[in-house]
Amino acid sequence: MNYFIAFFSLLFVGITNGQTLKSPDNQLELIFELNQLGKPTYQLKYKNKSVIQPSNLGLVLKNNDNLVDGFEVINAKATSFSDKWKPVLGEEKEILDQHNQLIVELLQKATGRKMNLVFRLFNEGLAFRYEIPTQEKLNYFVIADEETQFSLTGDHKAFWIPGDYDSQEYSYNETKLSQIDVDKLDMNNGIGMKGPMAKSRIQSPVMMKSADGLYLNIFEAAVVNYPIMHLDVYTKSFQMQSHLVPNAIGDKAYLQAPANTPWRTIMVSDDARIILASKMVLNLNEPSKIEDTSWIKPMKYVGIWWEMHVGKATWDYAGSQNAQMAQEAELKPTGKHGATTENTKKYIDFAAKHGFDGVLVEGWNVGWEDWFGNWKENVFDFVTSYPDFNVEEVQKYAASKGVKMIMHHETSGSVSNYERRLDRAFSFMKKHNYDAVKSGYVGKIIPRGEWHDGQTMVNHFNYAVERAADYKIMVNSHESSRPTGYHRTYPNYIAAEAARGNEFNAWSVGNPPAHETILPFTRFLGGPMDYTPGIFEIKMSHYDATKKEQVHTTLAKQLALYVTIYSPLQMAADLPENYERHLDAFQFIKDVEVDWDKTEILEAEPGDYVSIARKAKGKESWFLGAITDENPRNTEIALDFLTPGKKYKATIYQDGKDAHWEKNPKAYSIKTIEVTAKSKLKLNLAAGGGTAISFFPM
Amino acid sequence: MNYFIAFFSLLFVGITNGQTLKSPDNQLELIFELNQLGKPTYQLKYKNKSVIQPSNLGLVLKNNDNLVDGFEVINAKATSFSDKWKPVLGEEKEILDQHNQLIVELLQKATGRKMNLVFRLFNEGLAFRYEIPTQEKLNYFVIADEETQFSLTGDHKAFWIPGDYDSQEYSYNETKLSQIDVDKLDMNNGIGMKGPMAKSRIQSPVMMKSADGLYLNIFEAAVVNYPIMHLDVYTKSFQMQSHLVPNAIGDKAYLQAPANTPWRTIMVSDDARIILASKMVLNLNEPSKIEDTSWIKPMKYVGIWWEMHVGKATWDYAGSQNAQMAQEAELKPTGKHGATTENTKKYIDFAAKHGFDGVLVEGWNVGWEDWFGNWKENVFDFVTSYPDFNVEEVQKYAASKGVKMIMHHETSGSVSNYERRLDRAFSFMKKHNYDAVKSGYVGKIIPRGEWHDGQTMVNHFNYAVERAADYKIMVNSHESSRPTGYHRTYPNYIAAEAARGNEFNAWSVGNPPAHETILPFTRFLGGPMDYTPGIFEIKMSHYDATKKEQVHTTLAKQLALYVTIYSPLQMAADLPENYERHLDAFQFIKDVEVDWDKTEILEAEPGDYVSIARKAKGKESWFLGAITDENPRNTEIALDFLTPGKKYKATIYQDGKDAHWEKNPKAYSIKTIEVTAKSKLKLNLAAGGGTAISFFPM
């Protein structure tokens, strides 16, 4: 790695309490100021125009102590930083971390307490955090509140979801800031377990667009030992303020100096593609703490999962019986159990035949009869399989076919039970040759009173990943707090759900066609998502004529999602028999890669469309995905990302002539042409449609 | 085992809602009645005299549901039970469980809910519990309150400690019920970590004596998956009501049908010895769930512990440094660290020389620099030793001397951290040949908001013991909730502290001379206590002339405690060098057994005196301990417990002529005489004194 570190200024500030810092490209300017009360404030300008007006910074400690005002600047130091690093898995082979940094050291004279504010300006945005250095007057402390303001300059358009402490599985709302109103949302949205909310509280990341075409995004990075930050929106003044998710007794965070908050990030650009291409969040996380990362592998997988969502099979073996402990209750099978040895072998066969790396099996273990909605502590033991799932037999069969099994750990939110059993569960996995786990946290959290987004749970999710690393296990967490780049530090945190995934289309109002064009501007900024694309049998009436639910995309768009969604873990979520009927389209899923050397954001507009091209890791092949919202879209893509002078065979998977996500979602056509870097391709995306293209060098 | 089960009645009750039950000896009578509101009530008579006047029974569920009134009796069934069972370790070789039982099946017509009340009458008292059977209308439920009343018949004298959710380490107060007032207590009592209390809330067990000489005790048995019951005292009406310790959000217990509460016990006798001899609490617990108990062994031990209490050594290695992780901070030793390899070897030598089974070492592991009072989650890892404690070397040395090491796990109340690491900690123990652990819970509980006596922690203490059993590890828990006989079910739960132990004498106002005469009527009813007797150097001025603290007994009483305190785990707590100066008296500690075939309660009066004789397990030797409170006491003991016709060499360790716990505590004399079952012995106990006697067959 190359380090280009240069001190460009070192300021000792006496009378003046103001500091400024510019981004490496000089487009962004941060202005730090202490006001007359000694309250720290900041503002942000982009191309000399204000994007964040003067906004307060401060921490409130428990017991009425505060780190809010009465400060003076005792030192300020600016540095410049540029470095490249290589992610274990990722969208790019190499990532540039280039930023200018300002550390403002503050002293609260009346108390003798010290606090540092650290600002980093990247070309695409500002990050800052609070640091409490080691000091005599502050050792252990409890954060009662964080008063970080984001004073926006106007009534921007925002893509937002409510500030639910327990779930992010909402569709995005697209409104003006002034129109944010959680109380007006239709909560009949399929989310089974909702947590506390408030009228004008939303989650971060929140994506915004100003009237004059600026793209703004407020988020956070490196949430470690701290709760998730939601945002209280002042709908008249267009201000937002940090709202930390509390613990069981209302405290926000327990810290010991030296300590720091996560980074608060504000991305700004007049080009939406810059937001999507940004690696700011990753750059703000610590480098990998895992030395040998050779065991961390990208994975494309199939699994016993969608058949439960469409009602063809069940997770549980024994209907509504309480079968927490197999040895205590005689299990009487209902006959619809999905996770049987026999069915698993079929999936293994399918995976082996089509070149998938892994097979996920949900519902393999005892507990599903009585798992949901009861705040029950001891539901699953993570090591006892149902009578019709033979772990050893499956292990042998999978090994004979060269397929890896993916373990499933549903915790039902009982983290106390999971942590107690984690070592046993991981040992069981390794014994049976599982190297990856999908974990689930559906349900009210135990320890009771805690929320999915509180410090306790943030620590749990991170702990589970850290402990998994000791066992060389990769983690894909569902219903966890949404990621903030911690997969840089623990690259075995291979993916997470933590947003509204594809399964909502199977049994609820579903995900509107715009959904997947917003996720890249929100959830994906924090890390890979296990969205589970690839549904070919779009309408649930296929399984049951009375059903009206459907996936809100065309089949071609399902293919394109493999490129527009970045994840080193991607599922081909539909049933093998559905793929067998469309092997031509399925070829794209077989071909597409999940780990990349290079990513080009070709087109992007939140809520409207996204087109991305990616170059396969260590290969010359490229893949392109273009998706649109409910509106059809015609566009022309220049293939100048391809290696000049090389010829490629491009296979284009596109919406059929009359395709429409609702009226005719399965119409698609496939054609193969020869292209070069000089070629341009006209794409015609249906309403709710998409195009997927593979480029193989000839 | 013999079962003598006979149905002596089977009643189907129509119109009448009253039931009665008598104890096997007919002395106790329970009267159950539903009042006009359909509220269940009970009363208790002893020898035809009321001891509990009509008292309500009921459970309040969360969300305003209740199981308090509106009931009718749908069935009632009385049975008689008699059985003998053998405890793995205990005061008796065989225990008789003889009781009559009444099950009253109730239906709450308006809701369709069912609840059973189960009453058991033993000769020495009543036990009852609530049972929620499997039913359609009640599956998962949350206990918001338990409204169990105990309506006493007068202003009894009571021995009580305040209803602190976090500590039972109080001296007992001896007052009339009407004078119970927690607010008036001197809280400068050495307890570092006190929890919530209320003016007239006390803990159970509470020992009482009526004006007409009846002994009454209210307690509970088999607290499993339920909080500890404290008692709200109505000081004018002499009523008590159950007060369950809440969890972080104010709920009491999360249950699923079929479920039951712990047993509520009321012991009654006109002979105080009957209370001490009772095995009711054990009989109300489930039989052992450990099949092979061969690895559960009684233990007499010494350890690196008292030297920290007297200020000669420290638990921590590096003073006030924060050394949570040895690898992160350079540890600079203060030079007073007790748990060194070298010091441990001295204790091993001492143990081997004098025939002790084990050596406890506290302060061996990293974390003590920064462990107390900060509600810190990650303090100890339970596997990292200080640089001057070589686990392997100690292991080898102990093995070479035939001595077992006892591990120490201080959790500082961070149960979440302990549970996460428990498997690693236990594996580490087994790897290094430790078969017993002393655990500690000094500090505010994490998960934050939980209390030592709440359901969460009860479950933790039980879980730790259950998981230890999987590793064949014996547990001695300190600062746990007080035991309620669960060591019958998990006999590896070899002892607990959970009361004010001997160490308070080293650095606080200490334990008054009456303390050890009250413990058998309170704390010991629930299970063995690791009281750590055997302090020979009574006055702390021995270590530091400015110190005024002292043990509030004579030396001879310290010896007698080995008999009056039942525990299969007993420490000789004083320093080896102190024993070396009194090897004659020390001989009793060397000789005394800790596991018994038979126990005879010879004399007992709470707050005044206790005299107990016990026959060694599998041997013909007997041991006798007699203790008194602050008053000197002369008594005569008939030795008719000895085997008739056998001659015994009796070695009598008694207070010296002018002995006095305060003025002359170390004066003792030893004499050896020949006795038989026909002999009588005059004992002269000094103020705060005692007598210990060993009887070896000649």
DSSP code for B52:
E
Residues 308-367 on A with a CB inside 8 Å of B are 322
State how far the Cα of A694 lies from the Cα of A593, in Å rounded to an integer: 10
State how far the Cα of B689 lies from the Cα of A418, in Å rounded to an integer: 52
Determine whether the interchain pair B423/A419 forms a contact, defined as Cβ–Cβ distance below 8 Å.
no
Angle, alpha carbons A553-A559-A560 (nearest 5°): 85
Query: B340-346 contacts: CB < 8 A, separation 24 or more?
Result: B340/B388, B340/B389, B341/B388, B341/B389, B341/B390, B341/B393, B341/B394, B343/B304, B343/B313, B344/B304, B344/B389, B344/B394, B344/B397, B345/B394, B345/B397, B346/B576
Q: Is B184 exposed, middle or buried (0-12, 13-18, 19+ CB in 10 A)?
A: exposed
In a domain, B588, yes or no: yes
- A258, closest residue in chain B (CA to CA): B322
Mean pLDDT, range B26-46, rounded to an integer: 96
Determine whether the interchain pair A376/B140 forms a contact, defined as Cβ–Cβ distance below 8 Å.
yes
For the stretch B475-514, pLDDT in tens is 999 999 999 999 999 999 999 999 999 999 999 999 999 9
State how far the Cα of B117 lies from the Cα of B132, in Å rounded to an integer: 9
Nearest CB partner across the interface for B463, out of A251, A420, A448: A420
ipTM of this model?
0.95
In a domain, A595, yes or no: yes
Query: H or E stretch including B391?
Result: helix B391-400
Interface with A, mutate which of B416, B423, B463 (most A CBs under 10 A): B416
In a domain, A588, yes or no: yes
A396–B contact, CB cutoff 8 A: no
Lay out the sheet containing B18-22: strands in order across.
B18-22, B28-34, B40-46, B49-56, B149-152, B239-244, B229-234, B201-203
In a domain, A630, yes or no: yes
State how far the Cα of B260 lies from the Cα of B257, in Å rounded to an integer: 8
Determine whether the interchain pair A447/B248 forms a contact, defined as Cβ–Cβ distance below 8 Å.
yes
Nearest CB partner across the interface for A374, out of B140, B249, B447: B140
- Contacts A377 to B, Cβ<8 Å: 254, 459
Residues 451-480 on B with a CB inside 8 Å of A are 456, 459, 463, 467
What would the two tokens of residue B180 be? 């119970």
Determine whether the interchain pair B249/A422 forms a contact, defined as Cβ–Cβ distance below 8 Å.
no
Nearest CB partner across the interface for A423, out of B249, B254, B423: B423
The whole-number pLDDT of residue B64 equals 73
Confidence of residue B66 (pLDDT cuts 50, 70, 90): very high
Confidence of residue B332 (pLDDT cuts 50, 70, 90): confident
For the stretch B400-428, pLDDT in tens is 999 999 999 999 999 999 999 999 999 99
- Flag whether pLDDT at B93 surpasses 50: yes
- Flag whether pLDDT at B13 surpasses 70: no
The residue count for chain B? 698
- Flag whether pLDDT at B12 surpasses 70: no
B503 part of the active site? yes
Give the rounded percent of residues in chain B with a pLDDT score beyond 90: 93
The whole-number pLDDT of residue B16 equals 60
For the stretch B206-245, pLDDT in tens is 999 999 999 999 999 999 999 999 999 999 999 999 999 9
State how far the Cα of A466 lies from the Cα of B331, in Å rounded to an integer: 26
Number of compact structural domains in chain B: 1
Nearest CB partner across the interface for A448, out of B247, B424, B463: B247
Query: Hey, what's the torsion of the CAs at B586, B588, B593, B596, to 10 degrees?
Result: -150
Amino acid sitting at position B303: G
Do residues A528 and A599 lie in contact, with contact meaning Cβ atoms separated by under 8 Å? no
Residues 211-250 on B with a CB inside 8 Å of A are 247-249
What would the two tokens of residue B363 be? 């302060």
- Contacts A256 to B, Cβ<8 Å: 374, 376
State how far the Cα of B680 lies from the Cα of B545, in Å rounded to an integer: 43
CATH number of domain containing A621: 2.60.40.1180
The whole-number pLDDT of residue A1 equals 35
pTM, to two decimals: 0.96
- Contacts A248 to B, Cβ<8 Å: 248-249, 447-449
What would the two tokens of residue A186 be? 């239709």
- B449, closest residue in chain A (CA to CA): A249
For the stretch A543-576, pLDDT in tens is 999 999 999 999 999 999 999 999 999 999 999 9
Do residues A484 and A526 lie in contact, with contact meaning Cβ atoms separated by under 8 Å? yes
Nearest CB partner across the interface for B449, out of A416, A449, A467: A449
- Flag whether pLDDT at A18 surpasses 90: no
For the stretch B580-629, pLDDT in tens is 999 999 999 999 999 999 999 999 999 999 999 999 999 999 999 999 99
Confidence of residue A384 (pLDDT cuts 50, 70, 90): very high
Nearest CB partner across the interface for B249, out of A322, A376, A449: A449
- Flag whether pLDDT at A289 surpasses 50: yes
For the stretch A168-216, pLDDT in tens is 999 999 999 999 999 999 999 999 999 999 999 999 999 999 999 999 9
Determine whether the interchain pair B449/A249 forms a contact, defined as Cβ–Cβ distance below 8 Å.
yes
B7–A contact, CB cutoff 8 A: no
Quote the domain boundaries for residue A691.
Answer: 559-697
Mean pLDDT, range B445-456, rounded to an integer: 98
A632–B contact, CB cutoff 8 A: no
Determine whether the interchain pair A448/B251 forms a contact, defined as Cβ–Cβ distance below 8 Å.
yes
- Contacts A449 to B, Cβ<8 Å: 247-249, 449
Query: What sign has the CA pseudo-torsion B159, B165, B167, B170?
Result: negative
Mean pLDDT, range A81-91, rounded to an integer: 97
Side-chain-side CA neighbours of residue A166 (13 Å)? 20
In a domain, B38, yes or no: no
- Min Cα distance A377 → chain B (Å) is 9
Confidence of residue A321 (pLDDT cuts 50, 70, 90): low
- Contacts A375 to B, Cβ<8 Å: 140, 254
Mean of the per-residue pLDDT values for chain B? 95
- Flag whether pLDDT at B330 surpasses 80: no
- A248, closest residue in chain B (CA to CA): B248
Mean pLDDT, range B68-95, rounded to an integer: 96
SS3 labels along A399-438: HHHCCEEEEEEECCCEHHHHHHHHHHHHHHHHHCCCCEEE
The whole-number pLDDT of residue A16 equals 59
- Min Cα distance B124 → chain A (Å) is 35
DSSP code for A274:
H
B376–A contact, CB cutoff 8 A: yes
- Contacts B255 to A, Cβ<8 Å: none
Do residues A619 and A695 lie in contact, with contact meaning Cβ atoms separated by under 8 Å? no
Residues 6+ apart with CB under 8 A from B184: none
In a domain, A570, yes or no: yes
Mean pLDDT, range B539-568, rounded to an integer: 98
- Flag whether pLDDT at B10 surpasses 90: no
In a domain, A242, yes or no: no
In a domain, B591, yes or no: yes
For the stretch B114-171, pLDDT in tens is 999 999 999 999 999 999 999 999 999 999 999 999 999 999 999 999 999 999 999 9
First to last CA, chain A: 34
In the numeric block, the tokens 């250095």 are attached to A133
Determine whether the interchain pair A248/B449 forms a contact, defined as Cβ–Cβ distance below 8 Å.
yes
Confidence of residue A6 (pLDDT cuts 50, 70, 90): very low
Rg for chain B, CA atoms, rounded: 25
Amino acid sitting at position A24: P
Determine whether the interchain pair B140/A424 forms a contact, defined as Cβ–Cβ distance below 8 Å.
no
